[in-house]
Structure 1
Amino acid sequence: MVFNFKVFKKVSPNGKITLYLGKRDFVDHISTVDPIDGIVLLDSDYLNGRKIFGQVVCSFRYGREEDEVMGLNFQKDLYLASEQIYPPPEKREQNLSKLQERLIKKLGPNAIPFTFTLPQNAPSSVTLQPGPEDQGEPCGVQYYVKVFAGESEADRTHRRSTVNLGIRKIQFAPSKQGRQPCTVVRKDFMLSPGELELEATLDKQLYHHGEKIAVNISIRNNSNKMVKKIKAMVQQGVDVVLFQNGQYRTSVASMETQEGCPIQPGSTLQKVIYLVPHLDNNKDRRGIALDGQLKHQDTNLASSTLLAAPDQRDVFGIIVSYSVKVKLYLGALGGELTAELPLVLMHPKPEKNKLLHADSQADVEMFRQETIDQE
């Protein structure tokens, strides 16, 4: 049986350097990150006396491109990995992946393997949704693999002999559910006896994108106030770590109801509200965090960011979190009562790919020569 495996290919504008990657999504497993392994194919007459370097670049844009005036630049590029690919260092020991072995066998002696390792605390790929009238590159964290010809790793690259191919650093949902979120909040009133109690519970802690979130609400009104309205919402929290005040929250799904209201003094109410956070309902809202986007691919709301420890936050990262907030409205004099529950929103781990067999065939996806202008 012949299996097809996908290969991503991009050629430099001068046609002399070709980059092959087996995948463009690299998974952060909290303790380790998938290695970035690929092949660089060099033209025969390009090997004489030239050096080829490879780098993994994390590009963090924290301001709009259209606001860059008078020398301002709202973008930082971090070189997370960098090494000389050709001529290869003499002492380099390299365990080739199955994909690299197959490509070297197919492409011949001018195919040079490389492997890069990302640091554990490197930020995940996140894009902040631009407004309808915004132009230029969106804010967020993007990655790309860069291969170029030069004299040193710090050499100023020439566009014609440079290949840039976008990749993503992503996380998948853990295999086990965490503790079921539950909270009880109470409100008493200065000039009247009794208190209002709100108990909120989610059916689980971990949800996959597109899944319905069930919010179980229990209200016990032992005060002499009336509950006139109930509102539940899913809030996305975005923390741009670079800025001290770069934290904000946005409601990405909400429902308001007066069913069962008003809740009179001495009465109770049990209710379940269903919420589905989805990008389709937030298409034109500036600042919503999305999963890092590759060209020609749809995306979704950003997944929750999982950290090995709370203090392991890269200064160039964007940390995303979600919570459900339930509000009881008591009128102008009574005020509000609010309960909040954290949750995790992520993609499930995909099934493991089939092993490559000797009779596997490569399904090559080509990219146009739209290298990022480094001049």
Structure 2
Amino acid sequence: MKRLNINSMANMSRVYKKTCSNGKLAIYLGKRDFVDHVDMVDPIDGVVLVDPDYLKGRKMFVMLTCAFRYGHDDLDVIGLTFRKDLYVQVQQVFPPEPTSTQGPLTVLQERLLQKLGDNAYPFTLQMVVNLPCSVTLQPGPEDAGKACGIDFEVKSFCAENLEEKISKRDSVRLVVRKVQFAPLEPGPGPCAQTIRHFLLSSQPLQLQAWMDREVHYHGKPISVNVSINNCTNKVIKKIKISVDQITDVVLYSLDKYTKTVFIQEFTETIAANSNFSKSFAVTPLLAANCQKQGLALDGKLKHGDTNLASSTILHSSLQPGMNKELLGILVSYKHPRRPDHQRCWCGAAPDPDASKAIT
């Protein structure tokens, strides 16, 4: 894949280009990250360049696929399916279908068509809402090949019809990502409290934990406020703060995986029949969890960095009877709290991504 710069007056746009192995077909995109705004998703607009001698009267298609990969490529050799297509959208780019309506061209498409000439054809793909975001499950140290998770792919090929088998050499594929950003108007910070009774103590211990805001960003400290009313005759010696990532794989078995992405003990002595209040700064990072197999990460592009997966924001139109397989993988964060006479457990609910956030 190559990156091109298109100059127009004083403006410069970066374009991603991918060419098939035979060099006869190329696809151009202005970006590879497409934002899910919950009620709509950014359209995928691009251009396909084809050698007219290679086309030879055939049709040219562009296909968008959302797939869940849950095995390795070598499983396909023994007849096992290692991926499931959750969503497929196909557009016939050339010749255009009589019933199709071509919307207005984007600025990127106009510039590309002007630069590439008559053998370039524009396309626009529109994802439906409620598709999962790009998520990768972190492989183990011994795992090889592509990681399990949700990925999106834009593919272009020439064929007589869609039933024709297309080899990888005769098609061009470009992986893209579907991402979610923080809401423009975040809600109040989460708050939780619990009461714990102890043997031989007539009064309970009251613990409250809260955060000042709902949205937190990757690499930035999260302020966790802790308030303890220790009415017992016990002495609290430590406070442990942890952050758990919960991954729901709703596709095949409703599996739920919990991974601790941050845990730290703070030495704080809280005498019996006393009050305590303090703010703690915690920062969950992928760098501290890079060896944990199965940890959910934001889907990464080839040779690209990633981070802990963002919390999934679902559309309000979800119904109890809908096909939840389309949701693929759901990610959330929680804060367990288990105080006792030795330790007090509490936590935060962050989304450690520099551009995405938790609800």
The reply to whether TM is greater than 0.5 is yes
2:349 is aligned with 1:323: no
Which whole-Å CA distance do the structure 2 matches of 1:54 and 1:278 have between them? 38
Instruction: Provide the secondary structure at the position in 1 that maps to 2:111.
Output: helix
One-letter amino acid of the structure 1 residue matched with residue 283 of structure 2 = V
The normalised TM-score by structure 2 is 0.89
1:232 counterpart = 2:234? no
In the TM superposition, residue 274 of structure 1 has moved relative to its aligned partner by: 1.1
Structure 1 residues 33-44: aligned runs within 5 Å: 33-44=41-52
Taking a change above 3 Å as real, the CA distance of residues 91 and 162 of structure 1, as seen in their structure-2 partners, is same
Of 206, 209, 212, the match for 1:203 = 212
| 2:31 match | 23
Whether contact under 8 Å (2:226, 2:278) holds in the other structure is yes
Aligned length: 343
Q: Which has the higher contact order (CA 8 A, sep 6+)?
A: 1
CA distance in 1, matches of 2:12, 2:194: 56
Give the SS at the match of 1:101: helix
For structure 1, the 5+ residue unaligned runs are: 350-375
Paired position in structure 2 for 1:161: 170
8 A contact 2:219–2:353 mirrored in 1: no
Deviation at 1:279, TM superposition (A): 0.8
CA displacement at 1:224 relative to structure 2: 2.2
1:132 corresponds in structure 2 to 141
* Structure 2 gaps, min length 5: 1-8
* Secondary structure, aligned partner of 1:280: helix
Are the aligned partners of 2:297 and 2:308 in contact in 1 as well (CA < 8 Å)? Answer: yes
Given the alignment, which residue of 273, 288, 298 partners 2:295?
288
Contact 2:244 2:333 in 1 (8 A): yes
Counterparts of 1:52-91 in structure 2 under 5 Å? Answer: 52-65=60-73, 70-91=78-99
**RMSD of Structure 2 on Structure 1 (CA):** 2.1
- 2: distance between equivalents of 1:247 and 1:64? 21
Amino acid at match of 1:46: Y
Indicate which of 193, 200, 225 corresponds to 1:184.
Answer: 193
**Is 1:47 aligned to residue 47 of structure 2?**
no
Partners of 1:41 and 1:110 within 8 A in 2: yes
CA positional deviation for 1:97: 0.8
After the TM superposition, which of the residue ranges 164-173 and 39-48 deviates more from structure 2? 39-48
Q: Quick check: 2:241–2:345 contact (8 Å CA) kept in 1?
A: no
**8 Å contact from structure 1 (residues 205, 344) kept in 2:** no
Is residue 185–residue 339 contact of structure 1 (8 Å, CA) maintained in 2? Answer: no
Q: What is the aligned partner in structure 1 of residue 152 from structure 2?
A: 143
Please report how far the alpha carbon of residue 343 of structure 1 lies from its aligned counterpart in structure 2 after TM superposition: 4.3
Q: Tell me the distance in 2 between the aligned counterparts of 1:68 and 1:316.
A: 24
Within-5 A mapping of 1:329-348: 329-331=340-342, 339=346, 342-348=349-355
Cα distance in 2 between the residues matched to 1:239 and 1:230:
29
What SS is found at the alignment partner of 1:329? Answer: coil
Match of 2:131 in 1: 122
